[in-house]
Structure 1
Amino acid sequence: MALPTDTLNPVSAPALRADGTRRLPLELRQAHLLEQLRKTGFVSVAEAASALAVSEMTIRRDLIDLEAEGRLVRTHGGAIAPESSSPQAFDDEEPAFEQRLRQNNPAKEAIATAAASLVSPRQTVALDVGSSTFVLASRLIAFPTIKVFTNSLRIATLLGRERRDVYLPGGEVRGNEMSMCGPTAIAQFEQLWFDIAFIGAAGLTETGFFDYSLEDSELKRVYLRRSSRKVLLCDAAKFNHLSLVQVASLEAIDMLVTNAAPSGALAEALAAANVEIRIAKSASLAS
């Protein structure tokens, strides 16, 4: 008489839950967590528990085990890759805007919500070009009395449709990014003073933050020079990543808004530069 399959292979057979469904084995859960970490640089306890249909306590135990093996570092609400397994990477090619907007979108949404809470009525706000600042711009529609200055045609169009006060510099158009750049744009914005500036980045290391474009980097530096408060928006997937242009050192910014706490050398460098760190919670973690 043939034995049931579960009897022949008891080790790999998923355990039965009370409702009769199969529970994903430990090895597969942890493989999922590590794959998510590889893709985005951060794994959320709440999101992983929902995706795998297990409790958050189960995911936390898995993260504890993986941290003990040196495969990740636990942080608030999840985990990030350890410094030893994620050396600095060089990103030499700028992805299309639409692709960047989709990448790590839940993190960008959370970061935008946290960043918008820093804005007060009647402020002058500088918004850098980029996907994170574009998401933030959608939150600023709710602030009818602020004035927004940006070199992003996408942001200007978004806010202009809502009849918000938005200002663009003149100059050249960088077509693939739809940004205004060049000497004219720099000269015009150098004459202004902003209450707060929100800057995007392609990468962040202990030496500073980076961008793909020489042209857009010049406007980022203008925002840094001409703003009372400088806020960097950077999701954890960009930690320990370099790109073509170093925009500035960490001392140039006042605050980092991100979705996971930095660790290791990056955390130490941010502390030494007196950069305030604000961790943005995703909707699933905040509920």
Structure 2
Amino acid sequence: MLAAQRQERILEQLRRTGGVRVADLVESLAVSDMTVRRDLDALESRGALRKVHGGAVATARTEEPGFEAKSARHEDEKHAIARAVAGLVVPHSAVGLSAGTTTATVARYLVDVPGLTVVTNSLHVAEVFHRAARPDRTVALTGGFRTPSDALVGPLALASIRGLNLDTLVLGVHGMHERAGFTTPNLTEAETDRALVESTATLVVAADHSKWGTVGLSTIAPLERCDVLVTDSGIGAQARTALAERVGRLEIAEVRAGERRAGA
């Protein structure tokens, strides 16, 4: 087994259990103690885990890249997911969109859905709908303090959201994990997202395959709270099984590289 294959096996176990023991890895991978420790060193240097006595644990991320940095990642996957999510939104309904690059992409596919009332705490989502002005649509932007992902959070955002009754919420997340659920590294953004989740009848989570196994500092909601999870065809087989057992419905969007994108 190649080093990259061993390390992926180690990460997969971390995603399932949150921790690994060197002795167990030696047995399951059929390699030496030193080989396992070198693999753990390599994964720790990438920030994928934290070594502890006798093994390693998954790391909880507390740093969040800015919106522009995240926008360039997994673009084809985000567009595939956005197309699928747009097909779930009913015309003339009330829909919420949280902040994030994936939800901003979803907004580009929702601009032609008639009669929507849109609630968002994302400056980028609001701008997408503003540029595509339609007389049959209402867009409400919460107030609040701005985070690195250009989300509006804090008491003003919470006051705007509480008491709302949304038909559908499209939630973007920083990570998803069997134990930790849907997470974000930003504590105040997590609080705002939780308020959005509480306000909706149907929760749709839009997350590309790279989010699986990532654990942010704060949990937004458990996997079981999600009615529909839309991810892309890059998601691994074990992740598909774990998610299908926990979310209401798992939808896999097929990625077609290089195709024309909404608004392009």
The number of aligned residues is 211
Q: How far 1:285 moved relative to its partner?
A: 10
Corresponding residue number in structure 2 for 1:201: 173
| RMSD, aligned α-carbons | 2.6
Larger radius of gyration: 1
Residue number among 110, 119, 135 corresponding to 2:105 in the alignment: 135
Residue number among 179, 182, 185 corresponding to 2:151 in the alignment: 179
Q: Secondary structure at the match of 2:5?
A: coil
Q: Secondary structure at the match of 2:64?
A: coil
**1:107 partner amino acid:** E
Q: Which runs of 5+ in 2 are unaligned?
A: 16-47, 49-58
Does the aligned pair in 2 maintain the 1:224–1:253 contact within 8 Å? no
For residues 53-112 of structure 1, what are the alpha-carbon distances to aligned partners after superposition, in whole Å with 9 as ceiling and x for unaligned? Answer: xxxxxxxxxxxxx99x9939xxxxxxxx95445444433321111111110111011111
Q: Secondary structure at the match of 1:216?
A: helix
Aligned equivalents of 1:155 and 1:105: distance in 2?
A: 16
The answer to whether the aligner puts 1:188 opposite 2:191 as a matched pair is no
Does the aligned pair in 2 maintain the 1:71–1:85 contact within 8 Å? no
Aligned equivalents of 2:161 and 2:10: distance in 1?
A: 41
Does the aligned pair in 2 maintain the 1:106–1:282 contact within 8 Å? yes
Aligned equivalents of 1:278 and 1:70: distance in 2?
A: 28
Aligned equivalents of 1:115 and 1:126: distance in 2?
A: 12
The answer to whether the aligner puts 1:95 opposite 2:65 as a matched pair is yes
For residues 181-219 of structure 1, what are the alpha-carbon distances to aligned partners after superposition, in whole Å with 9 as ceiling and x for unaligned? Answer: 112221221111111101111111102111021111112
Does the aligned pair in 2 maintain the 1:239–1:262 contact within 8 Å? no
Q: Which runs of 5+ in 1 are unaligned?
A: 1-65, 73-80
Q: How far 1:178 moved relative to its partner?
A: 2.5
Does the aligned pair in 2 maintain the 1:83–1:263 contact within 8 Å? no
Q: How far 1:269 moved relative to its partner?
A: 3.9
Q: How far 1:120 moved relative to its partner?
A: 1.4
Query: What TM-score, normalized to structure 2?
Result: 0.72
Aligned equivalents of 2:198 and 2:130: distance in 1?
A: 26
Corresponding residue number in structure 1 for 2:75: 105
Compared CA separation, residues 85 and 219, structure 1 to 2 (3 A): closer
Q: How far 1:267 moved relative to its partner?
A: 4.0
Residue number among 243, 253, 271 corresponding to 2:226 in the alignment: 253
Does the aligned pair in 1 maintain the 2:174–2:183 contact within 8 Å? yes
Q: How far 1:274 moved relative to its partner?
A: 4.1
The answer to whether the aligner puts 1:282 opposite 2:216 as a matched pair is no
**1:114 partner amino acid:** A
1:63-74 to structure 2, matched below 5 A, reads: 71=5
Q: Secondary structure at the match of 2:105?
A: helix
**1:131 partner amino acid:** T
Q: How far 1:284 moved relative to its partner?
A: 4.5
Does the aligned pair in 2 maintain the 1:113–1:139 contact within 8 Å? yes
Aligned equivalents of 1:187 and 1:225: distance in 2?
A: 13
1:10-21 to structure 2, matched below 5 A, reads: none
